[in-house]
């Protein structure tokens, strides 16, 4: 039983690492392929969006407004592989005005972030992202 649990844990960890590797490459198609059709996406301090299509629209907005790379990624997963969490540092550049946020002037930022994942049938079924918005705002003002 423990061997199966380790395998499930490893698969969950590999899935999340593949998701972030695709993010860092800018390969949105590969990211979307790792998501469940009904993926639930909890935006930092925002609403929940549902579905791969909504996630693709979110990523298109992000790509228009920001250039980001994640580093120092650490992934933890439950033994049954059903849930995972990640911690990382976001290094970015604010490229274009995003709704409700200060004007973009190419400001650079670096801040810690994290995410929680539900995993179902080998795909990411939920992503909940968190970072300190006040820290980000202080860096881009």
- Provide mean pLDDT across the span 78-92: 97
What length is written for the chain? Answer: 141
At 6 the pLDDT is 78
Do residues 91 and 68 touch, judged by C-beta distance below 8 A? yes
Show the domain range for 78: 2-140
pLDDT per residue over 87-101, tens digit each?
999 999 999 999 999
User: Does 27 score more than 80 pLDDT?
Assistant: yes
| Cβ count near 47 (within 10 Å) | 8
Are the C-beta atoms of 73 and 17 separated by less than 8 Å? yes
Residues 78-85: what's their mean pLDDT? 96
Is it the case that residue 4 has pLDDT exceeding 80? no
How many structural domains comprise the chain? 1
Query: Is pLDDT at 28 greater than 90 in this prediction?
Result: yes
pLDDT tens-place string over residues 123-140: 999 999 999 999 999 999
Q: Residue 119 maps to which CATH number?
A: 3.10.450.50
What pLDDT shows up at residue 136? Answer: 96
Q: 1 falls in which pLDDT band (50, 70, 90)?
A: very low
Q: Rounded to whole angstroms, how far apart are CA atoms 22 and 123?
A: 14
Residues 50-78 have a mean pLDDT of 97
List of residues 6+ apart from 96 with CB closer than 8 A: 64, 65, 104
């Amino acid at each position: 039983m423990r061997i199966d649990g380790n395998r499930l844990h490893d698969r969950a960890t590999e899935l999340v690492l593949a998701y972030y590797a695709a993010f860092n490459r800018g390969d949105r198609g590969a990211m979307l392929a790792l998501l469940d059709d009904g993926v639930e996406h909890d935006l930092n301090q925002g609403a929940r969006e549902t579905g791969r299509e909504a996630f693709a629209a979110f990523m298109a907005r992000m790509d228009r407004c920001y250039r980001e790379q994640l580093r120092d990624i650490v992934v933890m997963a439950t033994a049954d592989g059903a849930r995972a969490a990640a911690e990382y540092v976001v290094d970015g550049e604010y490229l274009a005005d995003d709704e409700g946020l200060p004007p973009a002037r190419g400001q650079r930022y670096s801040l810690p972030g994290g995410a929680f994942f539900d995993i179902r049938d080998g795909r990411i079924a939920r992503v909940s992202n968190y970072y300190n918005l006040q820290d980000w705002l202080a860096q881009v003002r």
